[in-house]
A and B are shown apart, each in its own frame.
Chain A
């Protein structure tokens, strides 16, 4: 039975994602508990391999079809790397590739999957994953004891530094599998337009979520942000409604922010939101639901209705 751990490296234009190092660090810990090795697969970015010092073996698969992420081509390459490495555990991020590939490979490679993991430990031959469920309101402990299994891990769950250095890794170039007749073909990559607002540069952010209920009510947070002289940021639903531009979105699919203070109003604290703001120096959260996950990361919290609290804050800061 295999005892190796395989990580899929994620990169954008050759630059490796921070989450990749988080996974490699964890992979090393697990592989050493099982007496195995840490493997990393890099698809389409051969030059990135040099930066993967934490791996024992780096598998590079290079082909024009994987230079940009595409689920079908990636899936075929991963199946071929999995065949070759036969790892005990495959680690992916809870990212777009991780959601595509984790779920699909659990069928195609026939391995149980634990999704949204925030913790992973070796327990004898098994891996035990702690996963978020119900938007982070509960946790699930999942035992992965098959010969092969998969975990998709939420970004920021493990420290990246153990994945950055270590093993005197070797690199091997894997022959790409047959990538002919793909049904999915990438046409281009779109990056968001610059809007002049950079919420990542602000000292303080006033951040608003679905608890605000309507576009008209946004004036309440605008007043507070105005009084403080700071930008507004928001959870994804506010952006999806078209109430604020994308550049204001905090979270996994928005911006990662680290202000000196993050004031959250009517934001539940879904895992995808926390990923973007949990490192703020000071977090103050207003949410009428005392069980909202935002209070797990907040330093100060209040269950007062935001419609009562915001005017009080603005009135005191306005003059």
Chain B
């Protein structure tokens, strides 16, 4: 069985995001890029499947900032192959463009299951899994929390909300948008990542599609703060006092507390 995990880079959301001069993209110059946290979940579930079935795991990503570190980390965690699709322009890219590039590459590969994160923080025109699936004419499922697969069939738990999940059998090949692996993503020791880097096992292939879909994006802007959050300033002890006063004034804790 062959599993392909599509991963990608995203700006680290802990940082402050500023707009560039076009107002349609963020200023990427000083940002740190990290791998999409849900792609890491997809990778973990794929590695668990590999352990259970002996499947081969191939990781693929577009060449975006710091992607090598994501791909080498995936190799260090146990992926068998890592492929970087090159010739990617800088800046925000629509999911439809990403899907077009990936689908063109996938058309040349053999696979049973394609897994990726359920969403990404900038997938303004939709989630990757279903778009790739629709392009390739494959069945798909989003918000997947468990995958078992053998003999050309995957048994998949798809979460609906409030913890309810539908268990479905999907005839392979298929594309899954993974929400959570059945265990937290494993840790790759830095020495193993270094080893993978020194071994230099990254494959490269040129992206075969020129991106061009910009779905009507007029502008980005910071959310209008409904502005109500009154910020409590001062030392921790003072702020703690204030919070307790607030709870007390609402009658939520005893006046004496």
Is there contact, CB below 8 Å, between A190 and B167?
yes
Is A175 among interface residues, defined by CB-CB distance under 8 A?
Answer: no
Is there contact, CB below 8 Å, between B226 and A187?
no
Is there contact, CB below 8 Å, between B226 and A312?
no
Bound together, the chains give a CA A242 to CA B184 distance in angstroms of: 8
List residues of A whose CB falls within 8 A of some B CB. Answer: 12, 68-72, 95-96, 99-108, 112-116, 128, 131-145, 152, 183-192, 203-204, 228, 240-242, 246-247, 249, 252-255, 260-261, 263, 268, 281-282, 284-285, 289-291, 293, 295-305, 308-309, 312-313, 315-317
Answer whether A114 and B215 are a contact pair too, CB < 8 Å, given A253-B162, A289-B14: yes
What is the CB-to-nearest-CB distance from B256 to chain A, in angstroms, rounded to a whole number?
11
Is there contact, CB below 8 Å, between A284 and B243?
yes
Which chain A positions have C-beta within 8 A of B123? Answer: 115
Pairs A–B under 8 Å by Cβ, sample size 9: A99-B119, A103-B126, A137-B222, A138-B223, A139-B221, A189-B166, A253-B159, A309-B236, A316-B244
Which of B14, B99, B127, B139 makes the CB contact (< 8 A) with A184?
Answer: B139
**Closest residue of B by beta carbon distance from A105:** B134
Is there contact, CB below 8 Å, between A189 and B164?
yes
Bound together, the chains give a CA A309 to CA B232 distance in angstroms of: 12
Total number of A-B contacts with CB less than 8 angstroms?
Answer: 260
Is there contact, CB below 8 Å, between B226 and A297?
yes
Bound together, the chains give a CA A86 to CA B95 distance in angstroms of: 25
Bound together, the chains give a CA A107 to CA B133 distance in angstroms of: 9
List residues of B whose CB falls within 8 A of some A CB. Answer: 11, 13-14, 16-17, 19, 26, 95-96, 99, 118-119, 121-131, 133-135, 139-143, 155, 157-171, 174, 177, 179-180, 183-184, 215-223, 225-226, 228-233, 236-237, 239-244, 246-247, 250, 252-253, 257
Is there contact, CB below 8 Å, between A255 and B216?
no
User: Most B CB atoms within 10 A — which of A71, A282, A285?
Assistant: A71
